[in-house]
Amino acid sequence: MQKGFYLDTERCMGCHTCEAACKNWNGVEPKITDKPGAQGPKWRRVTNIESGAYPNAQIISVSLSCMHCGEPACVAVCPAGAISKRPEDGIVVVDQSKCIGCHYCFFACPFGVPQYGSSGTMQKCNYCLDRTEKGQEPACVNSCPALAIRAGTMDELAKYTQERLARQLAGSTQPSMLISR
Amino acid sequence: MEGLQTTWGSLIAVYLFLGGLGAGCFVATAVIALTTGERFRSTVRFGAWASAITIVVGTLMLLIEVGKPFRALVLFNSFSNLQSWMAIGAWLVFGAILFNGLFALFWTESVLRWAGARVRFLEKKRKVFRTVLAAPGIFLNLGVAFYTGVLLGVLPFRPFWNTWWLPALFTVSALDTGIGLVTAYATLRERGEGATRLRRILEVSVITLIVIEGVVLGYYLHKMLNGSADAARAAQLLIRGAVSPVFWIIVVGLGLAVPLLVCLSQLSGSLRRAAVVLPLVAITSCLLGGLALRFVVLWAGIPSSLSSPSTMQILAGIRFVP
């Protein structure tokens, strides 16, 4: 049963709490260089998207992580076979002990998801398996003050297509991500 | 370097260049060895060592670039997914190092004498060994040259790379730089019977390959300019954007025009007096052009902006809004 995320862009206010909670829970290093503004790897990223012009200007915030694609491009190109898709829930995971840090997955991923820290190996969202396997929500979902991010099986998330006019992201890799506008 | 692809930087560019150079060099050398035997052994020995050393140095560049170089050295673990071109390439490169290295050893008299004193048939059957290494080695090295382009060419979300014209371009460039290097050496060192003929054949090959490279490069850029908006944006970087000085001056000027003119003048015999300087100028210029080609192609490998309507538009923004 494929699991994935749903994002409600009307609820997301760009507070970056999910980013911080993700980094905190997963012990992602805060920065890898001393350059001003360096932020280190991010397994979840919030981006503000501006569109239109005054008086019809609009800004929306979008929080995205790995999409745990149905046909993940990263898995196919990894020379070491370090990335795999779990058959039971479709979560795409990285075996840190196999990754050689060649960055090939970074180029294959259409969303720029793979990140590299000071260890040199690839890291990304693992759907907080240490939480979700115990029945808890992923850290991002748990921390969002606006309930903008939801996690679940794609069947469970499908209700948002009715309620919130959410749509699954299109793409050859079949991202497991629903998003509303 | 804003707006350019820099995740894969200089070391990967050097790796792709040296891999191609070594492969091209081996192809030229092996063909000379197979067709002329011992006659041009100095050139063959030079080409064999050059092809082995360049590929080894190139591979070292790759190893320095990856996050876990020592882990990467365990080939059968780290390159076990043979659906990945990175893994296929690693095995091709490994094979080329083995073949080119052995080929070089079998063309080095002192090594042969040393080995022959211990295992006699190694020296006695040197011709057989040389042939057995040269013939399959040509295909292996052509594979390496092609792979340096396929590695980038199979990535669908990098529009400037995602075409079979890229491996074609890199293969032709690998051959003209490799054959160019052998030509320069042969021009400077080979004298006596047959040397003029060898030089002429090599010069004609280099001229032909440079013309083919020019045509392939032109068609590749034409395809990109008339392709998707992302591909055209990337191609514009080369033609009049941030990397255009490198592209026009080094890739086109030094890499194609200078060696072409030198080879043509050498062939026509009009500049024979500058016989030592010209081949050196031509090959240096040709190698710089080949190296710069890998740099500009890597820089232009910017991601596609997923420009389909609706929700994908949101993601398009994400990739470019800081």
Determine the Cα–Cα distance for residues A30 and A38; give it in Å rounded to an integer: 9
A-proximal residues of B, 39-68, CB under 8 Å: 65-68
Assembly ipTM: 0.89
Residues A4 and A72 sit within 8 Å (Cβ to Cβ): no
Average pLDDT, integer, range B174-183: 95
Looking at residue B311, its pLDDT comes to: 40
Q: Is residue B301 scored above 80 in pLDDT?
A: yes
Q: Is residue A24 scored above 70 in pLDDT?
A: yes
Helix, strand, coil percent values for chain A (each to nearest 5): 20, 25, 55
Looking at residue A181, its pLDDT comes to: 65
A77 touches B: beta carbon within 8 Å: yes
pLDDT category at B318 given cuts 50, 70, 90 is very low
pLDDT tens-digit series, residues B84-127: 999 999 999 999 999 999 999 999 989 888 988 888 888 788 88
A136–chain B nearest CA distance, Å: 28
Determine the Cα–Cα distance for residues A101 and A99; give it in Å rounded to an integer: 6
A107 touches B: beta carbon within 8 Å: yes
Looking at residue B174, its pLDDT comes to: 97
H or E segment to which residue A5 belongs: strand A3-8
Nearest residue to B47 via CA among A61, B243, B55: B55
CATH topology of domain B10-319: Formate dehydrogenase/DMSO reductase fold (1.20.1630)
A147 touches B: beta carbon within 8 Å: no
Average pLDDT, integer, range A79-94: 96
pLDDT category at B306 given cuts 50, 70, 90 is low
pLDDT tens-digit series, residues A130-167: 999 999 999 999 999 999 999 999 999 999 888 877 88
Tokens of A138: 């992923």
DSSP B49-87: HHHHHHHHHHHHHHHHHSS-HHHHH-HHHHT--TTSHHH
Query: What global pTM score does this model have?
Result: 0.92
Find, in chain A, the residue whose alpha carbon is nearest to that of B309.
A170
Contacts of A112 in chain B (CB under 8 A): 303, 319
CB–CB contacts below 8 A, A to B = 114
A38 touches B: beta carbon within 8 Å: no
Residues B64 and B11 sit within 8 Å (Cβ to Cβ): yes
Q: Residue A79: which of B69, B84, B306 has the nearest Cβ?
A: B84
B109–chain A nearest CA distance, Å: 39
Highest mean pLDDT among A108-122, A139-153, B68-82, B227-241: A139-153
